[in-house]
Structure formats: structure tokens, C-alpha cells
Amino acid sequence: MNLDSIIPFATFVVMALVVWGSLSTIADRQSRVADRLDRIIRQSAGRDGGMLIRKQERIQDKIAKTAQKFSKPLSPTNAVELGKLQSKLLNAGFRGEHALQIYLGIKFISLLVALAVAAPIAYAKFGPTVKGGMYMIIGGSIGFYLPTFVLGMLKSKRTEAIFLGLPDALDLLVVCVEAGLGLDAAMRRVAVELATATPVICEEFAIANFQLQMGRTRKDVLHDLGTRTGVDDMRSLAAVLIQAEKFGSSIAAALRVQSDSMRIRRRQLAEERAAKTAVQLLFPLVLFIFPGIFVVLVGPAGIQISETMMK
């Protein structure tokens, strides 16, 4: 067994993992609410729409069953760890029924693929030695923690999108409330108007409106909204709205104060990032720009000095 015979097999395994992970993500990305709405819309398209829905449901069921088989070895036994993992998936935007099983299945398959790629290469290069075993462990660790790293990146990106777009959504919410709309109607209006500018916030508001229409109390819906997003500003907004409803104070005034404070925090974050830019530019300036300037300025003098010394 040499390295040339291993590379095609490793490439095939990696491509199969990428395709399977893409299908799993696409199948589970939409929430149950979005799936139900899509199902109602597509039913009006006739028999073709119904066949397409049934086909998608069969694919999702197959993916869920496969993911459950692979997720059993990594399933948390502690309820606290299970709750933390579910909270991370919710904060990243994965609210599907089988999101946890699919994530754990992808993590387990990533571990197996990393070991399948690292073990033959390490054995062919180092043989059955301690160094080869260390490289196998390192490769397996990379495959095991890669889905966690990707999930953290998705969570951070979604959290930042909510943080940056929330002041604008609150401004429009204040305008709607002061114009005479109720909080539920104002959230529905914001979800429609800002669907292009801030799709993540509009999606969360749409889910909250759907829960309110299903008969849940506003307190529980707002509390779930803050927990589901994982953003401190959204949690504080939910707490302010719950207190305003409990004590009978003006919701518009509470929203205006919250919007002003969030806008100030966003401006401070922009100023902080602008102040860090000078320090961040120092390293590429020293590593890439200064050497070129040094060669251009000192190079001719160095050539003349060397020629003089040679003579």
C-alpha cells in the first residue's frame, strides 16, 4: 500500500461526506413552521406539488433514520449537556425536529472519515510507530471537532446579524406601535417589511407571531424568542416587553428606550472595530510592505557598496 493508491479512495470518501452533509443541511435547515407553510402553499399546485412534498418527506425521513443510527455513540447522557447542545443548534438557526441527531451523525461520520484518511497516510509514511499513532489521533481530533467549529461560526454569524439589525427593526416596531397597531400586528408588519434587509430577525418575529396565533401566551413567546436567538439584546427586549405588559406601561416608550440603547451599543462596537484596525494593520505592514520599501530604497545603495568593496 502506497500513497498513490490511498489518495483516490480518500478523495471519494471526502466527497461523499460533503454531499451527505449538504443534503442533511438542506433537508433540516427549514423549521417545522416553514415546512408546514410550504406544504400548504404547494398543495394548491395540484398533484405535482403533492408528489414533490411526499418525495421530500421520504428523503427527510431516510436522512433522519440514518442520522439516528450514527448519532447514538455521541448522544449526551446528561440532560444538562443535551440542553446546551440543543441551545447551540437553536442559536445557529437549526430548529428542525431531527437537528440534534443529524448534527451528531455528521460529527461521527466526520470522525470516521478523518480516521480513514489519516490512518493509511500515517501508516504508509511512518509505519506502526508512536509518531504515526499521534498523527492518526490528530487527524481524528480534527474530524471530530470540525462540525463543532462550523456550528460555532454559524452561531456567531447569526448572532451578529441579529445584533446589527435589531435597532432598525425596533425603530420600525416603534413607528407601527405609535401608529396604533398592537404588538402582534406590529411584529407581523416588521416581519414583512424587513424581510430583505434583516431576514434572520424577520424569521424569528414570524415564528413568534405563529406561536401567538396558536394560542401561546405572550410571556412564553417572548421568553422563547430571547432564548432561541441567544442574543443578550433580544433577551433584554423580551424582558422589557414582558414587564411593560405586566405593569401596564407604554410599550412604545419601552421600545424607543431599548432601540436607543441598542443603537448606541452598535455605534460603540463600530468605533471599537475602527480603533482596532490600526493595530491589525501593523502586522501585514511590517511583514509585507516594509520589506518591499526597504529593498527599493536600500537596494541600489547596497549594490553600489558591494561593487565598491569588490574593487
Query: What CATH number is attached to the domain comprising 231?
Result: 1.20.81
Please indicate, yes or no, if residue 152 is contained in any of the structural domains.
Answer: no
Q: What is the pLDDT of residue 151?
A: 86
Please indicate, yes or no, if residue 142 is contained in any of the structural domains.
Answer: no
Q: What is the pLDDT of residue 42?
A: 53
Please indicate, yes or no, if residue 99 is contained in any of the structural domains.
Answer: yes
> Which residue range forms the structural domain that includes residue 248?
160-273
Q: What is the pLDDT of residue 22?
A: 60
**Residue 102 sits in the same domain as residue 204:** no
CA pair distance 238, 122, nearest whole angstrom: 53
Other C-beta atoms within 10 Å of 143: how many?
Answer: 22
Please indicate, yes or no, if residue 150 is contained in any of the structural domains.
Answer: no
CA pair distance 54, 60, nearest whole angstrom: 10
**Residue 12 sits in the same domain as residue 118:** yes
**Residue 173 sits in the same domain as residue 83:** no
**Residue 29 sits in the same domain as residue 111:** yes
**Residue 114 sits in the same domain as residue 220:** no
**DSSP-based three-state secondary structure for 168:** helix
- Of 149, 160, 47, 135, whose CA–CA distance to 107 is shortest? 149
Q: What is the pLDDT of residue 45?
A: 44
**Residue 123 sits in the same domain as residue 10:** yes
**Residue 253 sits in the same domain as residue 200:** yes
89 CB-near residues (< 8 Å, 6+ apart): 95, 99, 100, 103, 151
Count CA within 13 A, CB hemisphere, residue 239. 8
Q: What is the pLDDT of residue 211?
A: 84
CA pair distance 63, 49, nearest whole angstrom: 21
Residue type, 225: L
Q: What global pTM score does this model have?
A: 0.65
Q: Pull the grid cell for residue 240.
A: 422589557
> Of the candidates 106, 128, 150, which is a domain's last residue?
128
How far is C-alpha 261 from the geometric centre of its chain's CA atoms? 26
**Residue 8 sits in the same domain as residue 115:** yes
Please indicate, yes or no, if residue 74 is contained in any of the structural domains.
Answer: yes
85 CB-near residues (< 8 Å, 6+ apart): 76, 100, 103
Please indicate, yes or no, if residue 113 is contained in any of the structural domains.
Answer: yes
**DSSP-based three-state secondary structure for 90:** helix
Structural domain total, the chain: 2
Please indicate, yes or no, if residue 280 is contained in any of the structural domains.
Answer: no
CA distances from 17 to 112, 113, 117, 150, 161 (A): 10, 8, 12, 15, 29
CA pair distance 239, 254, nearest whole angstrom: 11
Q: What is the pLDDT of residue 23?
A: 55
**Contact at 8 Å (CB) between 103 and 147?**
yes
**Residue 123 sits in the same domain as residue 168:** no
Where helices occur in 194-289 by DSSP H, the ranges are 199-213, 218-229, 232-247, 251-280, 282-284
**Residue 164 sits in the same domain as residue 254:** yes
**Residue 93 sits in the same domain as residue 183:** no
251-280 and 130-178 helices, crossing angle to 10°: 140
**DSSP-based three-state secondary structure for 194:** coil
Which CB contacts under 8 angstroms, 24+ apart, belong to 263-266?
Answer: 263/167, 265/233, 266/163, 266/164, 266/167
**Residue 102 sits in the same domain as residue 196:** no
Element (H, E) at 72: none
**Ranges in the chain, pLDDT < 50:** 1, 30, 44-47, 49
R_g of the chain computed on alpha carbons? 27
